[in-house]
């Protein structure tokens, strides 16, 4: 028996959608029939994904803004139209790149802000911008990409993990506030994703032995869970954090 998820008539916005996981999520939502607004702080990246979606028969537009800038987020979300599905995917340490890695005892407090601005405040900005409209329409999906570093902890990633854990806790709090309005709020906690173009690691390497599935994650692995959480199938699922991590860590 054939089965498919139909998101026709829904408008989705994916932050950080110009590459990697965000691109995969945007492409899959478009395949399911959603109109996809692709956000990225690099306009050319967002437009490139839009062009891919349109070339495959989907509908999409680009809306570049920096998720760390509330004024830019507010304006960009207003221009995007009525967002039914928000995917808070933008992450890492922002346009400046990855900073603050290493033992926390050796870290510089000045480096922590980069993690918080994107991974926590960026999620709060996007969610705050879309919730009033979702409440008015009495339907919505907010899906935030977090990390196992925030769910179970990870060596030399304490500041990053704190920001991701904060985003997950924020989502749980919002879920309690808006569930009565037909809005669900959930998180997806990722393990390590394979960088675009990077070779596969040997299945017997020390790192791969921690992954039961014996490979790193791909964008489609995440996009499938996003698609479920964005669909009517998940209408009684909210406030949850789902590990999508190849068995790197477990959840009860």
Position 101 scores a pLDDT of 67
In CATH, what number does 11-244 get? 3.40.50.720
* pLDDT value, residue 98: 53
Q: Cα 42–47–49 angle (5° rounding)?
A: 105
pTM of the model: 0.94
pLDDT values of the chain reduced to their tens digit, one per residue, 252 residues:
567 899 999 999 999 999 999 999 999 999 999 999 999 999 999 999 999 999 999 999 999 999 999 999 999 999 999 999 999 999 985 444 554 468 999 988 988 998 999 999 999 999 999 999 999 999 999 999 999 999 999 888 899 999 999 999 999 999 999 999 999 999 999 988 887 777 777 777 877 778 888 888 889 999 999 999 999 999 999 999 999 988 888 887
Which of the following is catalytic: 160, 211, 242, 248?
160
Identify the pLDDT of residue 95: 43
- Alpha carbons 164 and 132: distance in angstroms, whole number: 24
Domain positions in the chain:
11-244
pLDDT at residue 64, rounded to an integer = 98
pLDDT score of 172: 98
CA 91/CA 99 separation, integer angstroms? 13
Complete DSSP assignment for 79-114: HH---SEEEE---TTGGG-S---S-GGG--HHHHHH
CA dist., res. 78 & res. 83, Å (int): 9
pLDDT at residue 35, rounded to an integer: 98
Distance (Å, rounded) from C-alpha 214 to C-alpha 72?
41
Q: Do residues 212 and 14 lie in contact, with contact meaning Cβ atoms separated by under 8 Å?
A: no
- For the chain, give the percent of residues with pLDDT over 90: 75
**Ramachandran region of residue 16, left (φ > 0), alpha (ψ -120 to 50) or beta?**
left
**Is residue 126 within 8 Å of 77, Cβ to Cβ?**
yes
Give me the pLDDT at residue 94, please: 41
Q: Among this protein's residues, is 228 annotated catalytic?
A: no
Give the whole-angstrom CA distance, residue 166 versus residue 169. Answer: 5
| Cα torsion angle, 15, 69, 98, 197, sign | positive
């Amino acid at each position: 028996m054939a089965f498919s998820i139909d998101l026709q008539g829904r408008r989705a916005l994916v932050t950080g959608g110009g590459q990697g996981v965000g691109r995969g999520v945007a492409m899959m939502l478009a395949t399911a029939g959603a109109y996809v607004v692709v956000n990225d702080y690099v306009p050319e990246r967002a437009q490139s994904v839009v062009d891919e979606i349109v070339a495959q028969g989907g509908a999409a537009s680009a809306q570049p803004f920096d998720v760390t800038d509330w004024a830019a987020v507010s304006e960009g979300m207003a221009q995007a139209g009525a967002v039914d599905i928000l995917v808070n995917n933008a992450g890492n340490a922002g346009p400046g790149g990855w900073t603050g890695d290493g033992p926390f005892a050796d870290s510089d407090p000045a480096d922590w802000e980069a993690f918080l601005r994107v991974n926590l405040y960026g999620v709060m900005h996007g969610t705050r911008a879309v919730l009033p409209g979702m409440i008015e329409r009495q339907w919505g999906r907010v899906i935030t990409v977090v990390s196992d570093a925030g769910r179970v902890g990870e060596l030399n990633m304490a500041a990053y993990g704190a920001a991701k854990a904060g985003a997950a806790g924020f989502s749980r709090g919002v879920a309690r506030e808006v569930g009565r309005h037909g809005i669900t709020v959930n998180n997806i906690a990722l393990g390590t994703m394979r960088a675009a173009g990077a070779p596969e690691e040997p299945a017997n390497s020390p790192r791969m032995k921690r992954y039961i599935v014996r490979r790193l994650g791909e964008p489609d692995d995440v996009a499938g869970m996003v698609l479920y959480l964005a669909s009517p199938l998940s209408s009684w699922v909210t406030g949850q954090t789902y590990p999508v991590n190849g068995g790197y860590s477990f959840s009860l």
